[in-house]
Amino acid sequence: MKVHETRSHARTSGEEEKAMTRKQKAESNEHEAVQSPKKPKSTENDNVDQPNGKSSADIAAEFEEFSKAITEHLSIQQMREILEANGQDTSGSDSSILSKCQDLLFFGPLEKCPVCNGNLEYTGTRYSCRGFYSEWSSCTFSTKDPPRKQEPTKFPDSVLNSPVSDLIKKYQDPSCRPQRTLGTTDKPFKGMMISLMGRLSRTHDYWRKEIEKHGGKVANSVIGATCLVASPAERERGGSSKLVEAMERGIRVVSEAWLVDSIQKKEAQPLEAYDIVSDLSVGGKGIPWDKQDPSDEALESLSAEVKLFGKRGVYKDTKLQEQGGKIFERDGILYNCAFSLCDMGRGLNQYCVMQLITVPEGSLHLYYKKGRVGDDPNAEERLEECENEDNAVKEFVRLFEEITGNELEPWEREKKFQKKPLKFYPIDMDDGVEVRHGGLALRQLGVAVAHSKLEPLVANFMKVLCSQEIYKYALMEMGHDSPDLPIGMVTTFHLKRCEEILLQFIEKVESMKETGQKAEAVWSDYSQRWFTLMHSTRPFIFRDFQEIADHAAAVLETVRDITVASHLIGDMSGSTNDDPLSDRYEKLGCSISPVDKESDDYKMILNYLERTYEPYKVGDTEYDVTVDNIFSVESNAHPSYDEIKKLPNKVLLWCGTCSSNILSHLHKGFLPSICQLPVPGYMFGRAIVGSEAAAEAARYGFTAVDRPEGFLLLAIASLGDQVTESKCTPEDTKSLEEKKLGVKGWGRKKTDESEHFVWKDGIKVPCGRLLPSDHKDSPLEYNEYAVYDPKQVSIRFLVGVKYEGKRMVDTEE
């Protein structure tokens, strides 16, 4: 059964091709070079639609002379009057006013943004909107051919008497105005040297011809190259010497999608948006932050300490926790707030932390920090000692209102909050200890097992589930591993708010009538809403349902499960002499015991795995699995075996899940998926989905090449008396949910039905070798089953596996 988590970078090639970088801010000079390809020489067609048959080069020279005259003879105040008279934006610096006025007088007044009715402004390569699409997001509309008012330019009296009055009147009539040429080019790679490596979707020879056709050149070496185009699979296999050299030289390594998009859009796209390795150091260690500190030393997320673990956590950088500092509390309010802001239109992705901290036999301290994750040297940070308690509270309240536009008390007491443009939104921390802080550290693992009274294999299993590592790794994979925000210790209210935004997003996209840039604005707006609520170190704009499934729905389900684990594990950072593993095992409410390797159940499960598994491919590597241990499970959160054996139409099915989610499944039971989407895993709506193929479950259990251990789950599912069969996304999943009908989804592969058997008590085991089915167009690879009532599903076995990689033959042109 699939319990819907996100997948790591190693999961699917389609996912890897998306612009999902952790480092999305490039050096400005590189960005400018990519955004502004060299203008091709003028051709005889350049004078199309230009007055008097002038070429683009002539118009550019004329505009330059015109701009000099305007700068020399008009004051900034006169320019503001001109802008105001023509309904243009008069805000901004003097240089901004100058640029807007020159554009208006020569090319004509701009119309409002067609998406949000905001003001358009020339930004050097195109015209961009400076308005707001909603309180959550800036408008991201941009164009090279902006709409202009087809009416005479209006001049205030002060300008009519100026030395340039005759000059500006020359362009007053719309028919006399030149057209600003910012057109696209069929040579987007002009002046670029591009290097290729590895197995791409098209041959190197194909891309060589395409690159040369579109103005670029192909280099065998990365020395002097603009960028290196490689398959995302290269990051998982460690990369060749060519990739390492590119990283060492600071040369962008981008996906093949950069070539495709640049050619389609007739403009070289920003390299940083297609980067596939900026989150790796040369040594191959993960760096979750979207930029490095000034020393260029990569921050390593797996070794980073969480700085804020919950509502009562004193922020680590204050160092006041070493003095026994605690969060100040008065009248039921804990003065500890964390915030997030993601506005991609303005290039903002920031967090903020505010705390009042009291120190024993000392005074009150106010701590404030605002910045980007991993960019501490440039963060705004201060720690102030407060002599007066009332004044400290007033300053805290003032700061809250300043950065959010809301009052503190209605938020803290009633969760009343209205998002304001370019203002932060609170991350509603829960009162507990986030597992990345409270779980067992590496140095504690062996000692914890040694002091445990549990059966050794069970103690080792609990050690894995109570360790910090698996949760750090899960959050790192998803890009939600900020050490400054306790994303694994948020309230149910915050999770519900995230769910509301997600469901609104899906409903809006499904019913959307907008097209073009208006449709893009909808995707952009909801993406920014999502990444404000669910702070990420690498936000991006969602483009399709698969991305929503993998990077929103699955993320929310995983964060929910990690929050459950955080509450269950609590703080295990102290001594392990008192057997904390046994204590957490008792709280789990679950009986776990090793299955004897000589038993019939063990042999049955091993056979079921071997018959329904096929190697999982990650790039150029195939992964087989070997079984370490199998545990039988009896959880209080699931129907007991005696209860479920009485139900009709029972099947033993595989469930794939990341290690970080298992404690929640055992403690709370399986929860239906959070939404319905027209993609595998979510196509059956709010269902619990299982597969007859271990191969399907193994994809979800696999995390990354440097973490070979994982778990597969086997659960008994009762499909009920009536089973609906489907080979595509059901049109009406709500009726299935209400009637709690069982669903069988036909996949492109099936197990050999002649090998199926009954295990015991009428429980069918669809064990058999994998064969092609008659449903070649199905979105599912293997047959899947969906049930809508958690009372119809019960975990029976946990299968501990190890993924073993085998390199496939690689050919590089």
CB count within 10 Å of CB 300 equals: 15
**DSSP 8-state secondary structure symbol assigned to residue 723:** E
- Poorest-pLDDT segment among 122-126, 199-203, 584-588, 772-776: 122-126
| The two structure tokens encoding residue 281 | 């150091």
Q: Is the whole model's pTM more than 0.85, yes or no?
A: no
pLDDT of residue 704: 54
pLDDT at 302: 53
Average pLDDT over residues 264-274: 80
The DSSP secondary-structure symbol of 467 reads: B
Predicted pLDDT at 276: 81
Determine the pLDDT at residue 633.
96
Statement: residue 46 has pLDDT above 60: no
Question: At 656, is the pLDDT very low, low, confident or very high (cuts 50, 70, 90)?
Answer: confident
The percent of residues in the chain predicted with pLDDT above 70, rounded, is: 87
The segment with the largest mean pLDDT, out of 35-49, 81-95, 422-436, is: 422-436
Measuring CA to CA, which residue among 251, 481, 258 is closest to residue 374? 481
Strands (E), 114-250: 120-122, 127-129, 132-134, 137-138, 142-143, 193-196, 217-219, 227-229
Partners of residue 785 on adjacent β-strands: 690, 744
Q: Which band of pLDDT confidence, cut at 50, 70 and 90, is reported for residue 443?
A: confident
H/E stretch holding 431 reads none
Domains in the chain (CATH in brackets) are: 24-40+186-274 (3.40.50.10190), 589-807 (3.90.228.10)
User: What's the pLDDT at 201?
Assistant: 84
Question: Does residue 232 register a pLDDT over 80?
Answer: no
Comparing CA positions, the residue from 584, 590, 585 lying closest to residue 636 is: 590
Task: For residue 215, give every residue at least 6 positions away whose Cβ sits within 8 Å of its Cβ, in sequence order, or none.
Answer: 37, 185, 186, 187, 188, 189, 190, 191, 192
Assess contact for 122 and 129: CB atoms under 8 A: no
Tell me the per-residue pLDDT of 522-565, one tens digit each, with 9 for 90 and over: 999 999 999 999 999 888 899 899 999 999 999 999 999 999 99
Q: What is the pLDDT of residue 645?
A: 94
Separation between Cα atoms, residue 36 and residue 182, nearest integer Å: 10
Three state DSSP letters for 56-115:
HHHHHHHHHHHHHHHHHHCCHHHHHHHHHHCCCCCCCCHHHHHHHHHHHHHHCCECCCCC
Q: Is the pLDDT of residue 424 over 60?
A: yes
Question: What's the average model confidence in pLDDT over 634-660?
Answer: 93
